[in-house]
Amino acid sequence: MKLHFIFVIRFSVLLLFLCINTKLYGQKESNLKKPKLIVGIVVDQMRYDYVFRYWDKFSAGGFKRLMNNGFFCKNTNYNYVPTYTGPGHASIFTGSFPAVHGIIANEWYDKKTGKMNYCTDDAEVKPIGTENSTGLMSPKNLLVTTIGDELRLNSIQQSKVIAVSLKDRASILPAGHSANAAYWFDGKNGNFISSSHYINQLPEWLINFNAKKLPHQYLEKSWNTILPIVNYTESTSDEQEYELSPNGKEKAIFPYEYTKQLKEGNYEIIRATPYGNTLTKDVAIAAIKGEQLGKSNYTDMLCVSFSSTDYVGHSFGPKSVEIEDTYLRLDLDLQQFFIELDQQVGKGNYLVFLTADHGAAEVPAYLKRNKIPAGLVDENEIEKKLKEHLFSTYGDSLVLNCSNQQVFLNHTKIKEKKLDLYSTQNATAHFLLEQNGVAETYKAEDLKNQSFVKNSFKALLQNGYHFKRSGDVLFRFPVAYFDAIMKKGTTHGAEFSYDTHVPLFFMGWGIKKGSTVESVDITDIAPTICTLLNIPFPNGCVGNPIEDLFEED
């Protein structure tokens, strides 16, 4: 009896062990399968509301395919300021923010050299595919790894990582340091180029692509609305005095012709047309074919950033016919891109995510017309007054630079004059706060020493503050105000929802259908992708995997 009891116990334990083991083994088996290709798409300046605003006019295979077949994180926000392109792209692909990854703006004052420093400038490299300085670029200012870097490290360099965009920073920062290549557009020669950081010569497939002279072919067509203009009921009427008219055209109205610029060989203009996105889609498809992405046993990665939405958005604003038309055409480009991915890599074999690097403010003139408080602030005038004030107080202006709403004080002079750094920061902050157009000021010492409630405006500022690169006093404009340097059109950069709230979709391999309204930080994208791939998070990652994507229904 006793022996029988022991046998039953032993048998049960064995059975339990086998069950657990089978379950674990089963899970491990399925986890070992990896997607063939990760496609990280960024739409420059895409506001969250565009998904719904233009919904009825979208095709079945672009944004609607993402929404209907994928997972939509409806409450995704930037968790730092400033919301610019350089920091945005860096944060999406590193899961980190400027305080850690170091990309504090598109361009910032370099305390060591005393000059403005562009985020991807690198004088040490050689341009590839151009003679122009447009090729003097690398990710050297990015202090951490990207998803692509981790893929490369984890696969002992077997995974291929490629990035394409019109903008250098929107290609280089997503790609990261160890990518096979980042390619961007040189408007002077109309070609996609790179730098010696990545490669020594352009690959054959890109030489052939450039030889097609697609920018010329597209611009020859001129730009008119894809639908009859009366159908653009989601936008204001075409002619608005606050829209910036491009290329010296008298009025910012359709159609836009480029004959004169084409004669001069100026291909820069393609940036502020929807054809810039079509060209980006074309080069992305050429890269998939040319590099044989998604064809090996290792997961490859392609980063694609559509920049024309930003150039068009800056000029015409979120309620313009021009931006609506740009999104309707981008939707068709996405549709074709997904079809191509289905054919080249196979439906369900690739994992796509799509988000934006920041949103955009409404044009202040448009808000004012609707009786909503808004306006422009003359930052130059504020800087001038600040210098005069500090000069009259300390006998020296003490200001080295004022940019990106940060004041850089002269620490050497402060020491020479035996002044206290904190009290000079304090005097600067107090004076700034008295000026029209300044809503709040923050002292660097406080950002360094205090901790703030998560995702409060102060915490966002702290997440964007890099101890070595950022300034001494930071200030912000009132809600719906921005720098008067943009006399027409719009911009972005603030901590408010119109700039921080962006769409985020996942679709394809390992992704269930659904949506969430839970709060997602932009820094959660990279750890989510890395968790799906079972690879380490990028080394400066501050985010977490998005739980809703992993919960079983």
Residue nearest to Zn ion (CB): 310
Binding segment (CB under 5 A) for Zn ion, from list 62-70, 225-233, 303-311, 433-441:
303-311
Query: Looking at beta carbons only, is 310 or 472 nearer to Zn ion?
Result: 310
Helix (H) or strand (E) holding 534: none
Shortest spacing between CB 492 and Zn ion, in angstroms? 6
Min CB(355)–Zn ion separation in Å: 15
- One character per residue 254-293, x = contact with Zn ion (rule: CB under 5 A): ----------------------------------------
Task: Specify the DSSP class assigned to residue 360.
Answer: -
**461 burial type by CB count under 10 A (0-12 exposed, 13-18 middle, 19+ buried):** buried
For Zn ion, what does the binding mask look like between residues 435 and 454, x meaning CB under 5 A? Answer: --------------------
Nearer to Zn ion, 310 or 322 (CB): 310
How many C-beta atoms surround the C-beta of residue 367 within 10 A?
Answer: 16
Q: Which is nearer to Zn ion, 291 or 310 (CB)?
A: 310
Please, which residue, 186 or 310, has the CB nearer to Zn ion?
310
Q: Which entry of 22, 76, 83, 85 is annotated as an active-site residue? A: 85
Distance CA 65, CA 334 (A): 10
Q: Residue 141 and residue 101: Cα distance in Å, rounded?
A: 8
Concerning whether 120 is annotated as a catalytic residue, the answer is: no
Beta strands in 256-320 (DSSP E): 300-306
User: Which residue among 121, 150, 310, 331 contacts Zn ion (CB under 5 A)?
Assistant: 310
Alpha carbons 501 and 96: distance in angstroms, whole number: 17
CB of 98 to Zn ion, least distance (A): 16
State whether residue 484 is helix, strand or coil: coil
Q: Site size for Zn ion, by CB under 5 A? A: 1
**d(C-alpha 269, C-alpha 194), whole Å:** 20
The token duo for 153 is 């490290």
From 179-187, 306-314, 417-425, 471-479, span contacting Zn ion (CB under 5 A): 306-314
Q: Which is nearer to Zn ion, 312 or 382 (CB)?
A: 312
Composition of the chain by helix, strand, coil, percent to 5: 40, 15, 40
121/107 Cα distance (integer angstroms): 9
- Contact between residue 101 and residue 468 where contact means Cβ atoms under 8 Å apart: no
**Interacting span for Zn ion (CB under 5 A) from 67-75, 252-260, 289-297, 302-310:** 302-310
Q: Considering the complex, state which of residue 310 and residue 524 has its C-beta at the smaller distance from Zn ion.
A: 310
How far apart are CB 87 and Zn ion at their closest, in Å?
12
In the shown chain, the binding pattern of residues 130 to 169 toward Zn ion, with x for contact by CB under 5 A and - for none, equals ----------------------------------------
Alpha-carbon radius of gyration of the chain: 25
Rounded to the nearest whole angstrom, what is the least distance from the CB of residue 45 to Zn ion in the complex? 5
Q: Are 317 and 362 in contact (CB under 8 A)?
A: yes
Select the span of 2-10, 262-270, 304-312, 503-511 touching Zn ion (CB under 5 A).
304-312
Give min distance, CB of 127 to Zn ion, in A.
24
Q: Which two structure tokens, joined as six digits, stand for 166?
A: 């019109």
Considering the rule CB under 5 A, would residue 499 count as an interface residue with Zn ion? no
CA gap 443, 470 in Å, rounded:
11
Cα angle 409-413-414, degrees, rounded to a multiple of 5: 70
Q: Which two tokens stand for residue 77?
A: 């926000």
User: Among the candidate windows 173-181, 308-316, 346-354, 363-371, which touches Zn ion by CB under 5 A?
Assistant: 308-316
The HSE-up count of residue 412 (CA atoms within 13 Å, CB side) is 4
Beta carbon nearer to Zn ion, 150 or 499: 499
The residues that are catalytic are 85
Contact residues toward Zn ion (CB under 5 A) are 310
